[in-house]
Homo-oligomer: A and B are copies of this chain.
Amino acid sequence: MAATFTQPHAHGRLFSTSPLPKPTKNLRSPFTVRMSLQETGPSIAVVGVTGAVGQEFLSVLSDRDFPYRSIKMLASKRSAGKQMTFEDRNYTVEELTADSFDGVDIALFSAGGSISKQFGPAAVEKGAIVVDNSSAFRMVDGVPLVIPEVNPHAMQGIKVGMGKGALIANPNCSTIICLMAATPLHQRAKVLRMVVSTYQAASGAGAAAMEELELQTREVLEGKPPTCNIFSQQYAFNLFSHNAPVLPNGYNEEEMKLVKETRKIWSDLDVKITATCIRVPVMRAHAESVNLQFEKPLDEDTAREILKNAPGVVVIDDRASNHFPTPLEVSNKDDVAVGRIRQDLSQEGNHGLDIFVCGDQIRKGAALNAVQIAELLL
């Protein structure tokens, strides 16, 4: 029942992501030796390198000693020409064009759906394997939608060096974080229905949204009206239904991603899911309240053991000291944390569980998952 995170109160780490390209520090410990820059590794491109997820791609590549031969820093024309340092080497941010992918083995995309649609197929044509963090290709037949701990088999056969490009989609952050905890339970007892309510951080709307939350909070504390550029309403000390467009069925696009992506990732078109997605004034980690209904009985002790042994999952479920997962505690962490594991009183015969899940939206919800996919390509 004990937590395993080492920094439960990560003070002063909330505002580490800036929308402006700034020199990227080598985030690894000075006591580790970087083994990755080698002649034999793949050639990488990072598309959207100046954004919140782009910057995190670099941190994760460095943290995991991802081997690479070369790395291209790609962004929009606006950011082209800016200088960056990464792992003690200097880089100039290049403008993304159709020619950017000559000789690139793996392209990590996180620059929005329209950029992915415009340049993803071009990169594939040049022989690159694109790991795309946008929603552009997630639901396209034949494009694997992958959480490495959950369905690595979906990208079987796709490897660097196979002589052709490919598209692989990174699921939406809310889907990844939910399924990291729900899948091990699904594999044991088969989820029939899932009711999800999310508590989503600013980071999901990008670095500018994080800055706006900080700015608004300062303004409200000073008694000033809050600046609303990214969102249409006050975010500081407030929360609101996710800003994604609402579809004719009344669900917003964020909610339908959870429904549809789960079905694709689990290869289960029958699983019933409803979701309510809410933005809360938190910086960079999402939380989700998940109610599960199972085909087979599953008691909470078994569920807790399954989750303790699940890869990429940490159980924080200390009832006596009221210590459960929080967004702050998982911020800048790789693992998804799960707690509040309990038999659902509203379902009979041990067929229901409630759980509460937290995960870093930028890291496992985006950059880490994509780099893990890239690792499977080697």
Quick check: A237 and B283 within 8 Å, CB to CB? yes
Confirm or deny: A114 has a beta carbon within 8 angstroms of a beta carbon on chain B: no
Question: Within the assembled complex, what's the spacing in Å between the Cα atoms of A239 and B251?
Answer: 25
Of B12, B199, B221, B283, which contacts A214 at CB under 8 A? B221
Is B241 within 8 A of A343, CB to CB?
Answer: no
At the interface, yes or no: A369 with Cβ under 8 Å from chain B?
no
Q: Which residues of B contact A220 (CB under 8 A)?
A: 11-12, 14
Q: Which of B9, B193, B238 contacts A326 (CB 8 A)?
A: B238
In the complex, what residues of B have CB within 8 A of residue A289's CB? 197, 276, 278, 289
A281–B279 Cα gap in the complex (Å)? 12
What's the nearest-Cβ distance from chain B to residue A6, in Å? 16
A234 pairs with B9, CB closer than 8 A: yes
Asked if A278 and B199 sit within 8 Å, CB to CB, the answer is yes
In the complex, A280 Cα to B240 Cα: how many Å? Answer: 12
Which partner residue on chain B sits nearest A194 by CB separation?
A: B346
Chain B minimum-CB-distance residue to A214:
B221
Q: Identify which of B234, B252, B278, B300 contacts A11 (C-beta below 8 A).
A: B234
Interfacial chain B residues near A245, Cβ < 8 Å: 322
- Most B CB atoms within 10 A — which of A214, A218, A240, A300? A240
Contact A280 B249 (CB under 8 A): no
Quick check: is A177 within 8 A (CB to CB) of the other chain? no
Closest to A355 in B: B276
A239 pairs with B276, CB closer than 8 A: no
Whether B346 pairs with A249 at a CB distance below 8 angstroms is no
Interface residue A93 (Cβ < 8 Å from any Cβ of B): no
- Residue A79 is within 8 A (CB to CB) of chain B in the complex: no
A225 at the binding interface (Cβ < 8 Å):
yes
A183 — which chain B residues lie within 8 A by C-beta? none
The answer to whether A12 and B345 touch across the interface, beta carbons within 8 angstroms, is no
Question: Contacting A193 at CB < 8 Å: which of B246, B276, B319, B346?
Answer: B346
Chain B residues, CB < 8 A from A217: 217, 221, 237
A195 on the B face (CB < 8 A): yes
A148: interface (CB < 8 Å): no
Expressed in whole angstroms, the Cα–Cα distance for A281 and B282 within the complex equals 8
Contact with B along A151-179 (1 / 0, CB 8 A): 00000000000000000000000000000
User: Which residues of chain A have a CB within 8 Å of any CB of chain B?
Assistant: 8-9, 11-12, 14, 193-195, 197, 199, 213-214, 217-218, 220-221, 223-226, 232-234, 237-241, 243, 245-246, 249-252, 259, 272-274, 276, 278, 280-283, 287, 289, 291, 300, 319-320, 322, 324, 326-328, 339-347, 352, 354, 356
Task: Give 22 A-B contacts (CB < 8 Å), ordered by A residue.
Answer: A11-B220, A11-B224, A11-B225, A197-B276, A199-B278, A199-B280, A233-B328, A237-B281, A237-B283, A238-B326, A240-B324, A241-B339, A246-B319, A250-B342, A251-B342, A259-B345, A272-B347, A274-B291, A276-B354, A278-B356, A280-B280, A280-B281
A-B residue pairs, 10 tightest by C-beta:
A250-B342, A197-B197, A272-B346, A197-B289, A246-B319, A274-B346, A238-B328, A276-B289, A241-B324, A195-B195
